[in-house]
Structure 1
Amino acid sequence: MSGQHWRMTVYDLGAGATCAVSERSFAFVYAERGGASVTSGGTTRSVETGDGVFAEAGSGIASSGNAWLYEIAPSSLPLRFEAGLSPVLSRIAIVDDGPHILRADRVESQAGAQTPAHRHRGPGIRRLEHGLLRAEVGDQLDRVGAGGAWFETGHETVIGTNISGGTNIFVRVMLLPAELAGGQSSFVAASPADAAKPRAVDLRLFGELPIG
């Protein structure tokens, strides 16, 4: 098949554990509980709870609590099973040839909020930090609790509903066309009627990373 094939995986990196970003790969490190650090080229960046940074191949990562490591690796590389590093969800993503960016952000919604039917302009992994979510992705439905993750290819229609009775928060990393750099929206409504509906979410952009 043509196009670029990437393995998108989110791992838990437990307290006291360390690892390095795989060769030819990219990562986003989110400090879900406690702190984390990313070391590259002799420089160490600290990551506080509720924050995250990008890391490139070879960067060393350490966790003092529990960090979420979103790694985007060539599809030929296997899943990683290392001390303190535990895979939560992994999928193969296929995107067109050409330049892309990784975008990491945090999405918050209030009780009862429901997204209009939509898709995004690229694949990505989402992981729920707080709350309870009903995720309708194409013909599939999942009830996702805190710590749970799900994957969207960017092709199927998606509806997310906050069924927690309180605030939902999830962290997502998407692989998007480079033309969306600078925080341009990747959201594509399923119909004109859906485009007119409120999205009812608050977004925090952590950043973007060009990957070629």
Structure 2
Amino acid sequence: MTGANWRMTVYDLAAGAHCTVAPGGNAFIYAAASGAVVSGRNVEPGQGAFAKGGAAVSASGLTWIFEIAPGALPARRGEGLSPVLSRLTPFPDSHCMIRADRVEAPAGAQTPAHHHRGPGIRRLESGLLLAEVGDHLDRIEAGQAWFESGCETVVGLNISGGVNAFIRVMVLPMALAGGESSFVPATPDEAAKPRIVTLTLFGEQPI
């Protein structure tokens, strides 16, 4: 898979809607409101499940679908299925996995300048975030998503006045399986700064 482009997309699946994971793809399904059903398995609100290409997904309430599919496939649109953000990216390694987690940070927390060992999509669940990603600066509100390639330097600042929480789905080398950190500080000085975050690992799935 090294060198090939893959498409990373996060979709909204509306309440009462149904879809399937793209052929040849992998996905993490997050029940953002109410619940969801993935291949016959119930997913409780605030929880998620992994699924392979062709898996059936139905939403009782708003559901976020983080999908990794072959790059030749365009982002899909359908009844109740709406793309929020989609990017083409190469995978970092020939042996990769998807990792999904929730990242929470208290008011005023700022991450050290860093990058990660693979590309990924983040979507803010609650709060307000100022995100510097490479040369770009964005004010991220709840429900909005952003993409990190894993190459550019990133700094995030919680400007909400309360706790921020976002869902993060990354493609990482299998060498990091078991929850090994993908965080790479930009400099030794940045490495010495505290990371004031709470991580909740939903799980990992080989690709």
Deviation for aligned residue 1:107: 0.2
- In structure 1, the partner of 2:37 is 37
**Structure 1 residues 79-121: Cα deviation after superposition (integer angstroms, max 9, x where no partner):** 1010000100000111245110000000000000000000000
The residue identity in structure 2 corresponding to 1:20 is: T
| 2:124 is the counterpart of 1:143 | no
Asked if the contact 1:112/1:161 (under 8 Å) is kept, the reply is yes
- 4+ residue segments displaced more than 6 Å: none
Asked if the contact 1:109/1:200 (under 8 Å) is kept, the reply is yes
Tell me, what secondary structure is at the counterpart of 1:34? coil
TM-score normalised over the length of structure 1? 0.96
The residue identity in structure 2 corresponding to 1:159 is: V
- In structure 2, the partner of 1:166 is 162
Asked if the contact 1:20/1:60 (under 8 Å) is kept, the reply is yes
- In structure 1, the partner of 2:22 is 22
Tell me, what secondary structure is at the counterpart of 1:92? strand
- In structure 2, the partner of 1:129 is 125
TM alignment of 1:1-212, pairs within 5 A:
3-39=3-39, 44-211=40-207
Tell me, what secondary structure is at the counterpart of 2:58? strand
TM-score normalised over the length of structure 2? 0.98
Deviation for aligned residue 1:49: 0.7
Identical residues among aligned pairs (%): 63
Asked if the contact 1:4/1:97 (under 8 Å) is kept, the reply is no
5+ residue gaps, structure 1? none
The residue identity in structure 2 corresponding to 1:163 is: I
Equivalent residue pairs, number: 206
Deviation for aligned residue 1:36: 0.3
Tell me, what secondary structure is at the counterpart of 1:33? coil
**Structure 1 residues 13-34: Cα deviation after superposition (integer angstroms, max 9, x where no partner):** 0000000001000000000001
